[in-house]
């Protein structure tokens, strides 16, 4: 089922709502990415921010791929593990929307309920694509402090 | 240098904890509850001075690892701090009641949130 075709009582689709909310979300993403990187710099300077952000950017698509493969294979444990890792790292990098999606996937997989996982993984792919342009440059930004 | 065991299944979180603690403490890192328990209860290995334990580990979770450490006379008095994401009201009481010595909610925003309980517990006189 495509979530884009859900129509609310007001006649607007989920797509309309997402478009309406988009500018605010972009600002949010930028602020969240910057705050997350600043936090990492406080602990270990730009070197830590660089290493952790690079790891996040490399690992996230692999984790999503692992979860997808788990859905195909009916391996709820693999889905749970991938979602759990993703949830933890998204929290670290200010990717709050991804964190929420990963938590939903983890909860479903824990209940061995994989039927609704695939659309959530697609949302994760889209949200990662939207967040990446904000977080990735922080890996190369000189330290502000 | 005092030794801290870090039990955390997320590599990012381990990297962050390492950035905060390295230099001041010697770290031993474990990526699962099973690995940590096997190492901490091995009779031929020295014990760390303190354990930082993530609660929501896949497989054996932090509360279960702690329960087993408390059941073993050799590791019963080991200071163990719970680390948990998605902190909820009442967590501190819940984890202290479960037998943890202290509790640190994640994400850690300031080093002090972690260092204060670590230093306090390490300074505590070991039970006779």
- Mean pLDDT for A35-51 is 94
- Helix, strand, or coil (residue B98): coil
Mean pLDDT of all residues in chain B?
A: 92
From chain B, which residues contact A within 8 Å (Cβ)?
9-13, 15-16, 19-20, 56, 58, 85-86, 106-107, 109-111
pLDDT number for residue A78: 95
**Per-residue pLDDT band at A3 (split at 50, 70, 90):** very low
Confidence of residue A13 (pLDDT cuts 50, 70, 90): low
Beta strands across the sheet bearing B102-105: B26-30, B3-7, B50-54, B80-84, B102-105
Let me know: does A111 contact A99? Beta carbons within 8 Å.
no
Q: What is the mean pLDDT of residues B15-24?
A: 94
Confidence check: pLDDT of A143 > 80: no
Question: ω into residue A39 within 30 of 0, thus cis?
Answer: no
Q: Of the candidates A80, A85, A103, which has its C-beta nearest B10's C-beta?
A: A85
CB of A78 within 8 A of CB of B54? no
With an 8 Å Cβ cutoff, are B56 and A84 in contact?
Answer: yes
What tokens were used for B76?
């019963």
pTM over 0.90: no
- Output the pLDDT for position B98: 93
Q: Give the tens place of pLDDT for each residue, B33-46.
A: 999 999 999 988 89
CA–chain centroid gap for A139, Å, is 17
B106: pLDDT confidence band, cut at 50, 70 and 90?
confident
Name which residue leads in pLDDT, A142 or B9.
Answer: B9
Q: Which residue of B has its CA nearest to A42?
A: B110
């Amino acid at each position: 089922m495509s979530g884009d075709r859900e129509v609310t009582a007001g006649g607007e689709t989920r797509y309309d709502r997402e478009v309406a909310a988009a500018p605010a979300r972009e600002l949010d993403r930028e602020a969240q990415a910057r705050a997350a990187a600043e936090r990492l710099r406080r602990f270990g300077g730009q070197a830590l921010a660089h290493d952790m952000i690079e790891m996040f950017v490399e690992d996230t698509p692999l984790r999503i791929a692992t979860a997808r493969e788990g859905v195909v294979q009916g391996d709820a444990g693999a889905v749970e593990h991938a979602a759990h890792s993703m949830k933890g790292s998204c929290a670290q990098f200010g990717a709050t929307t991804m964190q929420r999606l990963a938590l939903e996937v983890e909860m479903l997989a824990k209940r061995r309920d994989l039927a609704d996982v695939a659309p959530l993984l697609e949302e994760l792919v889209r949200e990662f694509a939207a967040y990446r342009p904000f977080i990735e440059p922080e890996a190369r930004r000189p330290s502000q402090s | 240098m005092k030794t801290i065991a870090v039990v955390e299944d997320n590599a990012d979180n381990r990297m962050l904890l390492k950035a905060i603690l390295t230099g001041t403490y010697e770290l031993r890192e474990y990526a699962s509850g099973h690995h940590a328990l096997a190492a901490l209860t091995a009779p031929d290995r020295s014990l760390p001075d303190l354990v930082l334990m993530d609660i929501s580990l896949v497989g054996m979770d932090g509360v279960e690892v702690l329960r087993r450490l408390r059941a073993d006379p050799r590791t019963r008095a080991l200071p163990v701090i719970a680390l948990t994401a998605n902190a909820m009201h009442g967590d501190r009481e819940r984890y202290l009641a479960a037998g943890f010595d202290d509790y640190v909610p994640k994400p850690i925003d300031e080093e002090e949130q972690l260092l204060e309980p670590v230093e306090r517990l390490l300074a505590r006189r070991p039970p006779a």
